[in-house]
Amino acid sequence: MMLPKLKLALATGVAVAGFSTATLAEDFTVGFLGGITGPIESLMPPIQAGAELAINQANEQGGFFGDGSQGSLAVGDTGCEATRAADAADRLVNVDGVAAIVGAMCSGASVSAANNAAVPGGVVMVSPASTAPSLTTLEDSDLVFRTAPSDAFQGEVLANLLADKGITSVAVSYVNNDYGSGLADAFGTAFQAAGGEVLTSEAHEDGKADYRAELGSLSSTGAEMLVVLAYVDGSGGTLIRQAVEGGDFSQFAGADGMVGGRLGELVGEGADGMIATRPGSPDLPGRDAYEAAAEEAGFDPNATFAAQSYDAAFLLALALEKNGGEKEGLNEALREVATEPGETILPGEWEKAVELIAAGEDINYEGASGSHEFDDAGDVPGVFDEMVVEGGEFTLVGPAS
């Protein structure tokens, strides 16, 4: 049935700007599950801003469903923890009655939110940042999608990048969760296939103050590089800092969870030369429009997962418009608005999309971070960026092959 128009109800009290009290009674809500606190906290502001931008553009260009209905975000904080993710998702689905969910971010949080709330409640989730291969095989009734490519691809890209740079031996330390273990497996297999040696691959627990014992074990292998597959605000940043302080390693690599501004605060220039990969954005027709809108909204369009978050929210908005606001069948509508054939819709082209949908025409969204042709598992192909730390900060090198 048609979703009721609901008041904005925040799952964790996180404020969402831009909607007056007078209009809240007419809003319907889209959930946003993020690691607002915890090990990716410093990555979250532009990710959330990307989703807000997409919803705001739809509102400003006439709203939804032909009657000017306004959308808003109800924000839940998972802390990147499974239990908190289940609780936050339950509130979004069963208290706030959200139409769909952007999120979660951390892979384990997405799995927990899906299993405990979204799938039982028939609510579509589109994650901009959950990259663990385990999401591909999740029994989700075709309700869980993502706009970031799987780590099955990222692990191979990182491995080939290091091999191309002449790295022959590594020690791997990965956070003991879905994200870390899946990425470590993919990386290790690909690095050895490329002729390198993984001298040790060891799990570590997040949230510890001291990783010196782990670093001693890793450095004793004689590996020339330490690969840290974790989160910059959690164990990853601490591992790099203590490795630099102790002189355990001088060369470092990582993946998307490490690409945040806080590494410079933790390590300064001690991490200079660190190599990392992250999902990137191909050169698409709508990229310039997205970048201009993001800059006007006050956030960095090139921030890690910001473009993927914008696309997740815009795709869900298009699917809701096509499906008349109904939850049932929203997954099918999502595939239809994201897939050829159809008139191309670029970032920000809400009015054009609404006119075409009202006329019964097919549309095909070409996003800020990719074309997002979802496969049967809700996965997308993607491209990756090569990043390097210079002067204590990550900078973009270019596309990673």
**Sheet harboring 393-400: ordered strands across?**
197-204, 169-175, 225-229, 252-254, 275-279, 384-390, 393-400
CB atoms near residue 383 (< 10 Å): 17
58 close to 350: Cβ distance less than 8 angstroms: yes
Would you write out the chain's pLDDT as a tens digit for each of its 401 residues? Answer: 333 333 333 333 333 433 333 333 357 999 999 999 999 999 999 999 999 999 999 999 999 999 999 999 999 999 999 999 999 999 999 999 999 999 999 999 999 999 999 999 999 999 999 999 999 999 999 999 999 999 999 999 999 999 999 999 999 999 999 999 999 999 999 999 999 999 999 999 999 999 999 999 999 999 999 999 999 999 999 999 999 999 999 999 999 999 988 888 889 899 999 999 999 988 889 999 999 999 999 999 999 999 999 999 999 999 999 999 999 999 999 999 999 999 999 999 999 999 999 999 999 999 999 999 999 999 998 899 999 999 999 999 999 96
Q: What are phi and psi of 220, to 5 degrees?
A: -65, -15
Q: Do domains 21-150+283-365 and 151-280+383-400 have the same CATH topology?
A: yes
Q: Report the DSSP pairing between strands 393-400 and 70-77.
A: unpaired
Tokens at 269, concatenated? 């220039």
3-class secondary-structure state, position 322: helix
Q: What is the DSSP letter of 33?
A: E
Locate all alpha helices (DSSP H) within 223-339, ordered by sequence. 235-246, 262-267, 287-297, 306-322, 330-338
Locate tokens 């410093």: which residue? 42
- Domain 151-280+383-400 is found in CATH 3.90.1170.50: no
Distance CA 148, CA 150 (A): 7
What's the topology of domain 21-150+283-365? Rossmann fold (3.40.50)
Domain-wise residue ranges, the chain: 21-150+283-365, 151-280+383-400
CB atoms near residue 311 (< 10 Å): 32
Longest dimension (CA), the chain: 67
User: Which of 156, 103, 107 shows the shortest CA–CA distance to 135?
Assistant: 107
User: Which of 86, 90, 60, 92 shows the shortest CA–CA distance to 73?
Assistant: 92
Locate tokens 């949080």: which residue? 109
3-class secondary-structure state, position 324: coil
The predicted model scores a pTM of: 0.91
